[in-house]
Amino acid sequence: MGVTEKKQLMSATEIDRTLQRLAHEIVEKSGGTANLALIGIRRRGVPLAHRIAKAMRGIDGVDVPVGTLDITLYRDDLSKVAQHPVLHSSDIPFGVDDKDLILVDDVLYTGRTIRAAMNGLFDQGRPQRVRLAVLIDRGHRELPIEASFVGRHVQTSSSEIIEVRLSEVDDQERVMLVERVN
């Protein structure tokens, strides 16, 4: 099984502009940033959360704390994983109790990752509110989960894959639409 690149969905500039907009929306719709914190879902949600936090500093001068969450232990498909999964530490350097949290991920697809993330989050306390910000919403939900902040909606077929490539993780900066070919 291989993959072919179909087209570029976002350039580096477009990613940046979208994150700026998301940062503005979050500030605007939060009614104050005092209680706000961002939680990046490993792996690519983490650099995105840091970038949004940086953009928010530029808007309001507010320092919004950023945590990271590894959801591997909360996945619902571990019985189908043949390789040993690589675990990473979650690092949430603040108590989540009564916080106004924004989960950040790159792509919203089935919603299962977000379900896992919420379970992981609630193991650490009881946030006052949890919202979700994603760079891309590609549809095909399997759970009743929606994002509060969406960078871009993209229509996809289930054989397509959206690859968000970020300079912190990958050696390039863009969003690609890729197709699985048998």
Report the interface residues with other proteins, using CB under 8 A. Answer: 1, 42-43, 70-91, 107, 109-110, 112-113, 116, 119, 123-125
Alpha carbon distance 156, 135 (integer Å) = 15
Q: What angle do CA 138, 105, 126 make, to 5 degrees?
A: 125
Task: Kindly tell me which of 24 and 75 has the beta carbon lying closer to other proteins.
Answer: 75
Q: How far is the CB of 55 from other proteins (least distance, A)?
A: 24
For 172, the token pair is 């390039």
Q: How far is the CB of 17 from other proteins (least distance, A)?
A: 24
Task: Kindly tell me which of 83 and 155 has the beta carbon lying closer to other proteins.
Answer: 83
Q: Look at residue 16 and give its three-state secondary structure.
A: helix
Task: Kindly tell me which of 107 and 147 has the beta carbon lying closer to other proteins.
Answer: 107
Q: How far is the CB of 90 from other proteins (least distance, A)?
A: 7
Q: How far is the CB of 146 from other proteins (least distance, A)?
A: 16
Contact between 150 and 137 (Cβ < 8 Å): yes
Q: How far is CA 133 from CA 44, 86, 152, 171, in A?
A: 13, 25, 11, 24
Task: Kindly tell me which of 34 and 82 has the beta carbon lying closer to other proteins.
Answer: 82
